[in-house]
Structure 1
Amino acid sequence: MSNLTIGYSSIRERVAQIRLPEFRPDVEIIIAVQGGFVEGPDRDDVRMIYLDSLGAAKSRNVILKEAKGRYLVFGDDDMEWKDEGLTTILELFEHYEDLDLTLCQSENELGILRKRYRKKRRRLSKFNSAKAATYEITIRLSSFREKNITFNEGFGAGEKNFLGDEYIFISEACAAGLNCEFIPTTIAIHPSVSSGMIYGTLEDTEARSNVFQEVFDRFSIVVRIGFALKNLFRFRNPLLILRFIFRVFPKG
């Protein structure tokens, strides 16, 4: 049994650009490909899976099902891993057997942290994990299979609600009683621009509104009001703020 599975979600045209980590005998690599067949890397530690579906969340759910490692990280096809950071997190999982998920740090291509992070280790909840990125997450696979927690396939890249799938994933894990923690260790390098940083369009406003609805249900309007007040200038348009709060969007 592998100690770690690294699961990449990609499309046929982008598989060749994946920068794989160096071979380690205790690590398996899965590349879940959407959009057709493409030859994979000629490495014994790489397993290719071809999907008929589209959407990053669907791809990650296949990885959740197929992974053979004790622990699992989710990679994008435009990022790299920091080996020292991953090693630190795996040692933490081995030491704390009640630890089920960690949310860590990532940096951009210039070596600068991609956002503001807490300085100290902290328990996660749906109130403090909205800025999570998938490649910052490591999970104890057995815990998530036992609780049957997967990614919500109505959210994430490739869907109309193109963001928030990792936030919903963490929120559901917390609600199920799993021990989820932020750890101030950098494990990934990712380009500066990502879907979660997009603001000021009708599309991202609707997607973000739907994410909060999914996480907070009947209390979501209170959370949306608070979020809007905190991010007034990001919305750029008073009408978008009202749409976000009251979930009034064009049909279709």
Structure 2
Amino acid sequence: MERLLNKVAIVTGAAGGMGASHARKFVEEGAKVVLTDLNEEAGKALANELGENAMFIKQNVTSEADWENVVSETEKAFGPVNILVNNAGISRNNSIEQTTLDQYLQIVNINQVSVFLGMKSVVSSMKKVENGSIVNISSMNGLVAGAIGYTDTKFAVRGMTKAAAMDFARYGIRVNSVHPGVIETPMISSGDAVEAIKEFSKHIPLKRVAQSEEITNLVLFLASDESSYSTGSEFVADGGLTAQ
């Protein structure tokens, strides 16, 4: 089933983790996908694996010039953009006292400013097709408290999503946010984190962490025309954590 047939998508932070999962599924579903990341080696390897309907562009998501280049190169290769997944992000677990201003601003720039730049940069391309879907990856910590920097920027993504949805609706462009809970990644599947995550899982109503593919399926729905009447909304996939 090709749910994204003839769609052109940009996925940031796509060299690994959830971003790679999103990119892989999008290609499987018929889209032409531009993967962006700072990790050039891993990004190129994945694009090569995915074949002729995938292309990698090295990108600093906090750079307006890089965003303009990504959109321009995407149009040259595949045509106007239908889908943007603002997936790139970082987190720190420091307390407020332990966080320097430079560290804080780094999180703000990558998690928040990049989302603004991404939405601003693709809108003119999406206007050409009068059909667009922007999926901003927030977090369950865009709904409830977590670490400083991460929590506030993920709340900001939620707010920017709503503002952009109202701004872009007249162009037929939808904007929604996705709020994942704990996702199984190599970082939490080895070393000291294993036992901590196992213990934390007991407090998740579904009693387990999520697989990347489970979040990808939600992102796919929002990217596709199946969600044609959804905009300005939060879509939560956290195993029930924020419902408690």
- Fold shared, TM-score > 0.5 on shorter chain: no
TM range (shorter): 0.3 to 0.5
Between Structure 1 and Structure 2, whose CA radius of gyration is higher?
Answer: 1
Q: Decide which structure has greater helix share.
A: 2
Q: Decide which structure has greater strand share.
A: 1
